[in-house]
């Protein structure tokens, strides 16, 4: 993930200071590396390093540049670690163009092999470098930047946005799914993925939608075409941005912004996971004597969902255990032939690292899942799979949880295919399945948020509560309760539906809410409605997250959740629970992004 910008001045004024300002406003999207490119006397110049953009400018004296066109990037590592070689912009062999991008190429490995066979020098592990080489070949053939750009992007698969700057001063931008924006200032044209980054620089903007291309010619004209080169007519819109919201991308809190990024992080994750590592991890699990899943907190709840995925799709029943408990009495039974799947969004959780260390000492094989590929977990694991959700600045985990579920679902499908319980053809349909999930989540976000806010107001005066479900959505009850506790400081417990009558129901009254998640298993759903009625009869304010009911004949608040396939419903259900926790926190006046006594990374000594 990253932020990028192309700025061009029609009066010859230097855009270097403005580019720094724009890129700095997008550092919430990542700042492991940064880089800039510009054309000087017909020659392409590139400066990049593994430092934030402010340090890059200071280190290389970029504020003193006097150039009217510049391309820049700030990056969070997903393909290739934080290294100057992996920083954007990437250039072709002849230095006729520079490319910056966001997202991930699904067909990266295939395209990489192609350009290597044809003799190109590939200097990084970034997937976007291959795009520069594809355009380079076509530019040799056509001598037309726009035609070369269009033909190259027709080869790309995945979730991507990118901009190419050519040595003749032409720039072209494309996005596959997530909108990008062309801002118009008094004498400035800017191409960015975050609209609020244009605050104070542009008075109007064009929105470039998925499958469209924006071209900024060397003389400053802006054109829009589709992938076939046909003209797309657009009208500019006035830019209205609240300056107070600029640091958080137009949202009042990072947590809300990150929930709203979920539809795109689903596709980002699905694009970033490389097939060869999925197949390696699948073989490890299939050939193991036993599979053990270790994690803490939100990642542990994702691991519990993984146990349902593996059991149902592959016939594998893993042991899921907190990494805090693992070294105390599980680790001495671990040995050669065991596989440990270690999940940590930060990759630096002390308990996870301690458990991985002890497991490897005893001969176990470790598969790491992390959102931070520069972390110790990637070094301690035999292989690792990136979660690739992009940076998450709010302490409560939101998009990293849903992206972890995406990785685990895709991995379980591959394990199922390896043991012939899943048809190989189904693997080919995974991208379409996740694209449809992304569209469904995106189209329902505003409506679900509105319902979640009403539900938060309904239960906001309570002092405690339960989140209840059964089956594959039971881990979501645990996660929902955790989100409520850490976000709003309101006590909540996750309870398996069958256990509610075994003690917890005794304390229900008007001060104790119950949030029910409708189970996906029909036998469990029928009994759940009886529990809903019984809880309401004791005066408990009841919220029902339902995928099948618009309303019930009971005094309960229904939050309608769009329905998808069984194995994707945990991802869909996470979002209303996260929004409910968010709105509870806002209503209670809590610092949503920085809850007291909590940290994004729980670290300690690893011996």
Question: Strands 512-517 and 542-546: what pairing?
Answer: parallel
DSSP 8-state symbol, 331: G
The single residue listed with the structure tokens 């005094």 is 555
d(CA 338, CA 590): 43
Picking from 182, 208, 241, the residue at the C-terminal end of a domain is 241
pLDDT computed for residue 604 by the predictor: 57
Non-local CB neighbours of 432 within 8 Å, separated by 6+ positions: none
| Residue 75 and residue 213 in one domain | yes
DSSP secondary structure letter of residue 163? E
State whether 462 and 533 are in the same domain: yes
Extract the tokens encoding 518.
């409708």
Q: Is residue 549 scored above 80 in pLDDT?
A: no
CATH number of residue 322's parent domain: 3.40.50.10490
What residue numbers bound the domain in which 398 lies?
Answer: 262-428
Helix H, strand E, coil C: the string for 485-552 is: HHHHCCCCEEEEHHHCCCCHHHHCCCCEEEEEECCCCHHHHHHHHHHHHHHHHCCCCEEEEECCCCCC
Same domain? For 270 and 193 the reply is no
What DSSP assignment string belongs to 30-49? Answer: --SEEEEEEEETTEEEEEEE
Reported residue count of the chain is 607
pLDDT at 80: 59
Q: Which of 81, 125, 563, 600 is catalytic?
A: 600
User: What mean pLDDT is predicted for residues 141-153?
Assistant: 93
Q: Are residues 494 and 370 in the same domain?
A: no
Q: What is the CATH number of the domain that holds 63?
A: 3.60.20.10
Same domain, 104 and 218: yes
CA separation for the pair 369, 312 (Å, rounded): 21
- Is 341 contained in some domain? yes
pLDDT tens by residue, 195-226: 999 999 999 999 999 999 999 998 889 999 99
Contacts of 480-485 with C-beta under 8 Å, sequence gap 24+, read 480/515, 480/517, 480/577, 480/580, 480/581, 482/297, 482/298, 482/301, 483/396, 483/577, 483/578, 483/580, 483/581, 484/580, 484/581, 484/584
Catalytic annotation on 600? yes
Classify residue 238 by burial, with Cβ atoms within 10 Å: 0-12, 13-18, 19+: exposed
Give φ, ψ of 94 to 5 degrees.
-95, 0
Would you say residue 102 lies in a domain?
Answer: yes
| Helix, strand or coil, per DSSP, at residue 158 | strand
- For the ranges 30-44, 389-403, 507-521, the lowest mean pLDDT is seen at 30-44
Residue 78 pLDDT: 67
The Cα-based distances of 12 to 42, 68, 218 in angstroms read 15, 5, 12
Residue 255, in any domain of the structure? no
**pLDDT tens digits, one per residue of 54-63:** 999 999 999 8
pLDDT at 607: 43
Q: Does some domain include residue 131? A: yes
Tell me whether residue 558 is in a domain.
yes
Q: Assign 490 a pLDDT band (cuts: 50, 70, 90).
A: very high
**pLDDT, tens only, 463-489:** 999 999 999 999 999 999 999 999 999
Average pLDDT of span 394-415: 97
What's the total number of domains in the chain?
3
Among 433, 434, 469, 467, which residue's Cα sits nearest to residue 547? 469
**Regarding predicted confidence, which is higher, 600 or 541?**
541
Please check whether residues 297 and 160 belong to one and the same domain: no
pLDDT of res. 153: 95
Same domain? For 420 and 461 the reply is no
606 pLDDT higher than 50: no
Task: Assess whether 173 and 135 both reside in one domain.
Answer: yes
Q: What percent of the chain has pLDDT over 70?
A: 98
> What pLDDT is recorded for position 178?
93
Letter string b/e over residues 119-136, b meaning 16 or more CB atoms within 10 A of that residue's CB: ebeeebebbbbbbbbbbb
Strands 33-40 and 69-75 turn out to be antiparallel
- The answer on 474 and 328 residing in a single domain is no
For position 40, what pLDDT does the model report? 87
Q: Kindly state whether residues 235 and 268 are assigned to the same domain.
A: no
Q: Identify whether residues 418 and 449 lie together within a single domain.
A: no
Q: Which residues contact 204 (CB under 8 A, 6 or more apart)?
A: 183, 184, 236, 237, 238, 239
In this model, does residue 294 exceed pLDDT 50?
Answer: yes
Model pLDDT for residues 311-341, shown as the tens digit of each residue: 999 999 999 999 999 999 898 899 999 999 9
- Domain presence at residue 251: no
Shared domain for 295 and 382, answered yes or no, is yes
pLDDT confidence of residue 550: 65
């Amino acid at each position: 993930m990253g932020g990028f910008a192309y700025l061009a001045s029609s009066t010859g004024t230097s855009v270097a200071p403005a580019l720094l300002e724009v890129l700095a406003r997008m550092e919430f999207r990542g700042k492991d590396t940064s880089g800039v490119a510009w054309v000087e006397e017909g020659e392409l110049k590139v400066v990049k390093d593994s430092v934030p953009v402010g340090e890059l400018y200071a280190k290389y004296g970029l504020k003193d540049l006097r150039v009217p066109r510049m391309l820049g990037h700030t990056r969070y590592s997903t393909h290739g670690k934080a290294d100057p070689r992996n920083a954007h912009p990437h250039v072709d062999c002849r230095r006729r163009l520079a490319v910056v991008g966001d997202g991930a190429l699904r067909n990266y490995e295939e395209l990489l092999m192609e350009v290597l066979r044809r003799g190109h020098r590939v200097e990084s592990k970034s997937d976007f470098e291959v795009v520069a080489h594809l355009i380079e070949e076509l530019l040799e053939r056509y001598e037309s930047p726009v035609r070369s750009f269009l033909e190259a992007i027709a080869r790309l698969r995945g979730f991507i946005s990118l901009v190419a700057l050519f040595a003749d001063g032409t720039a072209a931008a494309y996005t596959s799914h997530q909108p990008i924006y062309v801002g118009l200032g008094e004498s400035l044209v800017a191409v960015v993925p975050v609209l609020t980054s244009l605050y104070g620089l542009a008075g109007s903007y064009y929105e470039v939608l998925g499958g469209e291309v924006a071209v900024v010619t060397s003389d400053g004209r802006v054109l829009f075409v589709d992938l076939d080169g046909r003209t797309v007519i657009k009208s500019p819109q006035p830019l209205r941005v609240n300056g107070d919201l600029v640091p958080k991308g137009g949202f009042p809190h990072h947590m809300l912004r990150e929930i709203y990024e979920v539809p795109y992080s689903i596709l980002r994750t699905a694009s970033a996971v490389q097939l060869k590592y999925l197949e390696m991890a699948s073989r490890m699990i299939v050939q193991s004597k036993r599979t053990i899943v270790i994690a803490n907190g939100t990642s542990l709840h994702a691991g519990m969902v993984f146990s349902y995925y593996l059991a149902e799709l592959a016939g594998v029943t893993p042991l899921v255990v907190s990494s805090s408990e693992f070294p105390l009495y599980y680790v001495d039974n671990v040995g050669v032939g065991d596989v440990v799947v270690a999940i940590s969004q930060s990759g630096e959780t002390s308990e996870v690292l301690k458990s991985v260390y002890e497991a490897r000492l005893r001969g176990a094989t470790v598969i790491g899942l992390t959102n931070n590929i520069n972390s110790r977990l990637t070094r301690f694991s035999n292989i690792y799979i990136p979660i690739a959700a992009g940076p998450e600045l709010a302490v409560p985990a939101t998009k990293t949880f849903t992206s972890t579920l995406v990785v685990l679902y895709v991995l379980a499908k591959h394990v199922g295919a390896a043991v012939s319980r899943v048809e190989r053809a189904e693997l080919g349909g995974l991208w379409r399945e996740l694209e449809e999930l992304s569209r469904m989540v995106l189209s329902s976000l505003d409506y679900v948020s509105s319902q979640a806010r009403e539900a938060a107001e309904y239960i906001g005066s309570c002092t405690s509560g339960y989140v209840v479900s059964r089956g594959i959505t039971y881990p979501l009850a645990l996660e929902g309760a955790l989100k409520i506790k850490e976000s709003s400081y309101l006590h909540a417990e996750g309870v398996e539906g069958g256990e509610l009558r075994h003690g917890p129901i005794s304390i229900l009254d008007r001060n104790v809410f119950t949030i029910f998640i409708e189970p996906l298993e029909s036998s469990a759903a029928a009994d759940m409605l009886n529990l809903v009625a019984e809880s309401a009869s004791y005066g408990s304010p009841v919220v029902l997250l339902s995928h099948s009911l618009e309303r019930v004949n009971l005094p309960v608040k229904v939050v309608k959740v769009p329905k998808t396939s069984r194995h994707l419903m945990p991802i869909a259900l996470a979002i209303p629970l996260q929004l409910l926790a968010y709105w509870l926190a806002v209503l209670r006046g809590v610092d949503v992004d920085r809850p007291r006594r909590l940290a994004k990374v729980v670290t300690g000594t690893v011996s």
